[in-house]
Amino acid sequence: MYLSEIRLANLRCFETLDVELGDRWNYFLGGNGAGKTTLLEAVYLLSHARSFRGGSRTGLGRREIDEYSVFGRLEKRDGSSARLGLSRSEGRLGGRIDGAAVPLGGLLRQSAVVCFEPGSHDLIAGSAELRRSFLDWGVFHVEPEFLECWRRHQKALRQRNALLRRGGTAAEFEPWEAELGTAGQRINEWRIGYLARLRPHVLGQLEVFLPELGTADLRFKPGWQEGASLVEDLAANRQRDGERGHTLRGAHRADWSLLFAKASRREHLSRGQEKLAALACVIGQARLFAEIALEWPILCFDDLASELDEPHQGLVIDSLKAVPAQILITGTAAPLCLTEQKVPLIMFHVEHEKVSRMAE
């Protein structure tokens, strides 16, 4: 899949913008603050309904006005196409496909975008919430029932937390704990299944990017004691959870981690190694999506040259040269690694809230 056009209004620094994109390598050149990252952000919004810069759905509007819109023309490799739209107005997000209003989940299933950007190292070193979001985005595109199950889980979690804070009776807790346990167990099973399919793609990419760390493995923690009943666990820990004011066990506490033979804890990794490990996860997830959907997701790399040294930039390009994916890259300087390898680039210049295609 690829976006042949991206159009936006009142997003970050842009009042309006309309750009036609190539179906393979696109490079956006410009100074800091010119708006390059916003272009990738717009593409990402159509797939995630949030920014990769902190995950916020608010504060994206131009001059702090909390209203914006993003439009993209999505082309599939089978020849089909769809006009996708996401807008925020009066504090609410709305989705459209070919002009018709659709639930947000329906819009997000249409396109798939993965992104490597300056904050991506947090996927390895940051909070478990980031790793759950990464994992659940993949599950969402594999399991049609995931979104509804996740929503039921979130509702049950909110209800149980409210009971913990005000002090509910056992009869009030039991139905919500039953729902939390059932939905949490289902989510857990989906996550385990997805990670099993993701593992070879990530580990294969790690062999390319971080061979000096030795054999790698990917471990999953479900958020409660493995093999135990979550419903029984919740009931047994009401008093403890009540003292904290929130639920301490469940699918909302799940996490996963990468372990290396020569770096058994993530604290042993340098910042550069964290970035490369995160990049392996991003590309691995893209490869798995392509394997399942028979369609490559759109790949975004924000300021690739500043995040990776030239040898590792070369490894990324080598990994992707034969991949039939649309690739969007930003940078502040001419892309030497790409031009040296004779990658067929379409170049854009970003300056003063304008984007212009450069002569080939």
According to the model, what pLDDT value does residue 256 have? 93
Residue of 18, 58, 4, 127 whose CA lies nearest to 354:
18
According to the model, what pLDDT value does residue 26 have? 93
Q: What is the mean pLDDT of residues 294-311?
A: 87
Q: Exposed, middle or buried: residue 242 (CB in 10 Å: 0-12, 13-18, 19+)?
A: middle
According to the model, what pLDDT value does residue 213 have? 87
Chain-centre distance of CA 153, in angstroms? 21
According to the model, what pLDDT value does residue 16 have? 85
Q: How far is CA 5 from CA 23, 192, 208, in A?
A: 10, 36, 33
What would the pLDDT profile of 203-226 be if each residue is shown by its tens digit? 999 999 989 888 999 999 998 888
CB 211 within 8 A of CB 205: no
Confidence check: pLDDT of 114 > 90: yes
According to the model, what pLDDT value does residue 31 have? 82
340 — pLDDT class (breaks 50, 70, 90): confident
**Packing angle between helix 310-320 and helix 170-209, nearest 10 degrees?**
100
Q: Element (H or E) spanning 160, and its range?
A: helix 146-166
What would the pLDDT profile of 86-101 be if each residue is shown by its tens digit? 988 877 888 999 989 9
Confidence check: pLDDT of 336 > 80: no
Name the range with the highest mean pLDDT among 37-46, 191-200, 270-279, 316-325: 191-200
What would the pLDDT profile of 241-265 be if each residue is shown by its tens digit? 888 999 999 999 999 998 888 877 7
Task: Please give the mean pLDDT across all residues of the chain.
Answer: 88
According to the model, what pLDDT value does residue 158 have? 95
78 — pLDDT class (breaks 50, 70, 90): confident
115 — pLDDT class (breaks 50, 70, 90): very high
3-state secondary structure 50-116: CCCCCCCCCCCEHHHCCCEEEEEEEECCCCCEEEEEEEEECCEEEEEECCEEECHHHHHCCCCEEEE
Q: What is the mean pLDDT of residues 333-351?
A: 82
What would the pLDDT profile of 9-64 be if each residue is shown by its tens digit? 888 778 788 999 999 999 998 888 778 888 899 999 999 988 888 655 556 766 66
Spatial distance between the Cα atoms of 93 and 355, rounded to a whole number of angstroms: 26
What is the value of pTM for the model shown? 0.90
If one compares 159 and 65, the residue with the highest pLDDT of the two is 159
According to the model, what pLDDT value does residue 63 have? 67
Beta 14-20 vs 2-11: how paired, if at all?
antiparallel
What would the pLDDT profile of 164-195 be if each residue is shown by its tens digit? 998 888 899 999 999 999 999 999 999 999 99
Confidence check: pLDDT of 357 > 70: yes
Q: What is the mean pLDDT of residues 292-317?
A: 87
